[in-house]
Amino acid sequence: MNALWPVRLVDGDTALRPIRMRDQREWREVNQRNRDWLRPWEATIPPAPPGGPITRRPTYRQMVRHLRSEAHAGRMLPFVIEYQGRLAGQLTVAGITWGSMCSGHVGYWVDEAVAGRGVMPTAVALAVDHCFYAVGLHRIEVCIRPENAPSRRVVEKLGFREEGLRPRYLHIDGAWRDHLVFALTVEEVPEGLLARWHRTRPGASPGTPQK
């Protein structure tokens, strides 16, 4: 535990808070209801090499224990997304490194039922601002399959730079998949990413994130 974690970040109807063991029932309901929506973009376990260890997908409780351990070690920020008070997805800042890099990468998924309402861009903006202005990171990146148009729209709306292609970067949906890299550094959003999202989002009025 430290002053920067656990933390709750809120903007309007969208909130980020730490994932909990007692979220299991609601998390499973949302995740299972969205199986067809999420499957093409979810990480999978590659086949074990000959004589190598067999790795299985973790249970929910194993996942949360791992996420908590990494959060306490300062390497991860594991959030669930809430929309109008209900669990609506998950966002994790992972791979947090310091020294000469000071960076992390963001992964996320959202309930299809709330897609298109600005929930995901708001959640990403909240997380990035926390990483830049509270945690002290310098760079955040998001890696997305080229075919994942909804996820690409999120980073495009927020003004992430496209940096290039990482061939066969992650094992997704049963095979090694190419990913596009999108990134931001703190110098690129001096006003804050959430403020920029409010300014550029059609029909939105400015707001201030609350912790």
Indicate whether this model's pTM tops 0.75. yes
Radius of gyration of the chain from its Cα atoms, rounded to whole angstroms: 17
Which alpha helices (H) appear in 42-109, and where do they start and end? 60-72
List per-residue pLDDT tens for the chain, 211 residues long. Answer: 466 899 999 999 999 999 999 999 999 999 999 999 999 999 988 887 777 666 778 899 999 999 999 999 999 999 999 999 999 999 999 999 999 999 999 999 999 999 999 999 999 999 999 999 999 999 999 999 999 999 999 999 999 999 999 999 999 999 999 999 999 999 999 999 999 999 998 765 544 444 3
Residues 51-79 as b or e (16 or more Cβ within 10 Å = b): eeeeeeeeeeeebbeebbebbeeeebbbb
Do the beta carbons of residue 126 and residue 209 sit within 8 Å?
yes
One-letter amino acid of 84? Q
DSSP state of 144: E
Q: With H, G, I as helix, E, B as strand and everything else as coil, classify residue 36.
A: helix
Cβ–Cβ contacts within 10 Å for residue 24, how many? 15
C-alpha–C-alpha distance, residues 193 and 195, integer Å:
5
Cβ–Cβ contacts within 10 Å for residue 45, how many? 12
Domains defined for the chain, CATH in brackets:
9-200 (3.40.630.30)
